[in-house]
A and B are shown apart, each in its own frame.
Chain A
Amino acid sequence: MPETDTAAQPSTPAAGGTGSPPAFADAVRDETSLRRFLHGLPGVDAVGLEQRAAGLATRSIKKDSKLWAIDTAISMVDLTTLEGADTEGKVRTLCAKGRRPDPEHPDVPRVAAICVYPDMVATAVAALGDSGVGVASVATAFPSGRSSLRVKLADTAYAVETGATEIDMVIDRGAFLSGRYGQVFDEIRQVKAACGTAHLKVILETGELATPDNVRRASWLGLLAGGDFIKTSTGKVSPAATLPVTHVMLQAVHDWHAATGELRGVKPAGGIRTTKDAIRYLVAVHEVAGPAWLDPHLFRFGASSLLNDLLMQRRTQLQGHYSGPDYVTVD
């Protein structure tokens, strides 16, 4: 079957999954409306944005509020392995870690999800059992997204069929940057339909979008098309998540909620390695989006090494002295 057919089709809001809310029915009527809407969003001044992000990053989170932040951050981690060298053994170890991050401290919350490639979904599902930890799978020709829609949909379907509860898709950055917003919109729509009940996270790959204006437009595009989450990065492109970019996305879900009453989530991924970083993100969540977003249903960290630093800092907080890397498990 030739692939050109789908891209050429006009967007149809009723394509399945979450339809665009009535507030934005006009915005997604056709390619022209969509373009007009996205380009009509207020601009983002890069310097002002960075200044605000840097200002908020000076918040000093201590004592109880720090411990709360650490536990909240742990519960928001999508513990991730996305390597060509991934094996079932590696995935099982990661799942064990996600279920019980600190074996000596059972009160440590479990992580939100384990994030793997589609062929590892079944292994993760089996390893996690009824722990409540979700299984997220990247899909849609991750990380570049350079394949046919048919392959992307098949990739998604494979992950969902093998038990993924969350799908992390990539948008077609090439299409976005050349202004083919309708095509990106349609792809997200169709992937969303292929997800069924699985949650959809839409990876914008902000490092390739380059400007905060593009990030804002792509965020709204992802929300309009029905993404449950908008996610910064694949982790394979530098820069990955940054605080200013996350600010723009948090502002977008905040504004989306103000306009529609719907709560959508944000997931920064890549480059967040320390507790200090994570707390800065949580402060941004708290003060830019709002306290309601301090919840794993609405905010996630895509990370691998972050978890151990959180665990180490947690011990430090509780024990009153600095901990060391040998007291947390290497997985």
Chain B
Amino acid sequence: MSDRISVAKTYKLYLGGAFPRSESGRTYPVTDAGGKFLANAAHASRKDLREAVGAARTAFGKWSGATAYNRGQVLYRVAEVLEGRREQFTAEVAASEGVAVEQARTLVDAAVDRWVWYAGWTDKLATVLGAANPVAGPYFSFSVPEPTGVVGVLAPQRSSLLGLVSVLAPVLATGSTAVVVSSRERPLPAITLAEVLATSDVPGGVVNLLTGSAAELGPWLAAHGDVNALDLTGAPAELRAELEAAAAGTVKRVLRVPPTEPDWTEPPGITRLRSIMELKTVWHPMGA
């Protein structure tokens, strides 16, 4: 055992491309699966959430306006950087989730691979989900998928990295921006992922990551007028109906997610991608 004293990291929020503490000044202790203290995490407040939504909205124009090819490259770059941090993630996932290092490594590898999979979707969505509509008349009509806007995500509570990647990467692949509330008990891999995002080419504000309580922040996220879609995967079961009802106030798209956390190692399919995209149909006459 080394007698060197390690440099402990202060875990903060990721908001608008920066790493601030919660404006509330609150933190909460994070322990490993065995109850041993790991770190203090910032305990995000509703005002932090408000800032996060604002940052996500600001970032939406540029991110959604980037070419699909560019977004694909940016996301692929994230996977490259993730790959380089596999050991760190493995240690954090093992500690957070209480799994053996071998299994943690498998989960981290799966997370990197999933990120690569989504990176490849950016420039295929329009082909797969769009259409030329053979309308009965002298018009050219086509439909193209577009990102919905700001997506609020209550990340899985159990799967600290693979689960998080599985709900976050599709948001980015479509061109939407995200406000994510991480797992409350297992937030450290999320913060490390934020560091990866900050050091790759994802523009600030595209992903905003808050550590804290889904139960506390969920209602604010669900009711926020500038959030377009809501992923309640990590919402407490007893709150889910209430959050869905709050989402109705501004007709948010609420993803249909299973009542309990799924097996994230299963291939994801494209339902999640599809349900956070809008379809726009354009018509133009054809005449000389």
Contacts and interface: CB of A to CB of B under 8 A. Distances in A.
Q: When A and B assemble into the complex, do they touch directly, with CB atoms less than 8 Å apart?
A: yes
Interface of A: 45-50, 210-211
B219 to A, nearest CB: 49
B229 to A, nearest CB: 36
B283 to A, nearest CB: 10
Contacts of A50: 138, 287
Contacts of B69: none
B5 interface: no
A183 B288 CA distance: 26
Nearest to B137: A47
A45 B288 contact: no
Interface residues on B, range: under 10
A48 B137 CA distance: 12
A211 B285 contact: no
B139 interface: yes
A210 B138 CA distance: 18
Given A47-B285, A50-B138, A211-B288, 13 more contacts: A45-B285, A45-B287, A46-B285, A46-B287, A46-B288, A47-B138, A47-B139, A47-B286, A47-B287, A48-B285, A49-B287, A50-B287, A210-B288
Contacts of A211: 288
A179 to B, nearest CB: 18
Nearest to B138: A47
Nearest to B139: A47
Closest 4 CB pairs of A and B: A46-B287, A47-B285, A47-B287, A47-B138
Interface string B264-288: 0000000000000000000001111
Identify the interface centre among B285, B286, B287: most chain A CB within 10 Å of its CB: B287
16 contacts: A45-B285, A45-B287, A46-B285, A46-B287, A46-B288, A47-B138, A47-B139, A47-B285, A47-B286, A47-B287, A48-B285, A49-B287, A50-B138, A50-B287, A210-B288, A211-B288
Contacts of B138: 47, 50
SS of A interface (majority): helix
Contacts of B287: 45-47, 49-50
A49 B288 CA distance: 11
Contacts of B288: 46, 210-211
Contacts of B139: 47
B136 to A, nearest CB: 13
Nearest to A44: B287
A50 B286 CA distance: 12
Nearest to A47: B285
A50 B138 CA distance: 10
Nearest to A214: B288
A49 B285 CA distance: 11
A210 B288 CA distance: 9
A140 B225 CA distance: 72
Contacts of A46: 285, 287-288
Contacts of A45: 285, 287
A296 B152 CA distance: 70
Nearest to A213: B288
Contacts of B286: 47
| A46, A47, A48, A211, most chain B CB atoms within 10 A | A47
A42 to B, nearest CB: 15
A211 B285 CA distance: 15
A45 B288 CA distance: 8
Nearest to A210: B288
A252 B68 CA distance: 47
A127 to B, nearest CB: 44
B274 to A, nearest CB: 32
B285 to A, nearest CB: 3
B84 to A, nearest CB: 57
A154 B288 CA distance: 38
Interface string B134-146: 0000110000000
Interface in B78-135: none
A48 B288 CA distance: 11
A47 B140 CA distance: 12
Interface in B233-288: 285-288
Contacts of B285: 45-48
A46 B288 CA distance: 6
A191 to B, nearest CB: 30
Contacts of A48: 285
Contacts of A49: 287
A49 B287 CA distance: 10
A266 to B, nearest CB: 22
A159 B148 CA distance: 72
A216 to B, nearest CB: 13
B115 to A, nearest CB: 46
A88 to B, nearest CB: 44
A46 B285 CA distance: 8
B139 to A, nearest CB: 7
A271 B138 CA distance: 24
A288 to B, nearest CB: 19
A1 to B, nearest CB: 41
A227 B288 CA distance: 27
A48 B287 CA distance: 9
Nearest to A211: B288
A49 B139 CA distance: 14
A207 to B, nearest CB: 14
A266 B192 CA distance: 78
